[in-house]
Amino acid sequence: MSKFPENSEMRMSKEFSERIKELIEDNECESNTDFAKLVGVSFPVIIKAANYGIFPTTKTLIKIADKLDISLSYLLGMTDVNDYIGSNKPSDFYTRIQELAAEKKQTIGGVASKMTFSRTYFYVWKKKNTLPLLDYAMEIANYFGVSLDYLFGRSDYRK
């Protein structure tokens, strides 16, 4: 089982690099180090994001978005509108997957069979309490027609 998806489109992005630079400026940080401290992630993560648009782990992306109170779509540079409204009762990724599958009257296995990646990932995410890579998360969110923020339990708004 490969750690990274083949033909991954979500490893780096010019839009993400520009958004990180914009957020550094908007938060009046004098350096990448100041911004890293503000959002609670390591300096190398911010350097890679700002200079090359390299995406950190999904957990780190969520941490940054939580600290700045912004949507993941906005953070990733997928939209220029930050219409994020946090959940009053946050959920977790695996609970949301189960709820969304039940709404479609499917099992997790049924959902997994519709994905382009191995169904064993769902088991690994649950057993190890981990999060999917951004590519996989995007595929799951698109399948259910929800935002990443909803999928990860950060928001109660589906889109």
Task: Output the domain CATH number for residue 62.
Answer: 1.10.260.40
**61 in the same domain as 102:** no
Average pLDDT of span 30-36: 97
In a domain, 84, yes or no: no
The pLDDT value given to residue 3? 45
Statement: residue 2 has pLDDT above 50: no
Contact present, 64 and 39 (Cβ < 8 Å): yes
In a domain, 2, yes or no: no
**98 in the same domain as 63:** no
The pLDDT value given to residue 41? 98
Of 19, 93, 4, 98, residue with least CA distance to 53: 19
In a domain, 116, yes or no: yes
Residue 60 sits at φ, ψ, to 5 deg, of -70, -40
- Residue 46 carries which side chain, given as an amino acid letter? I
Domain with 27 in it = 14-75
Statement: residue 6 has pLDDT above 90: no
Contact present, 95 and 153 (Cβ < 8 Å): yes
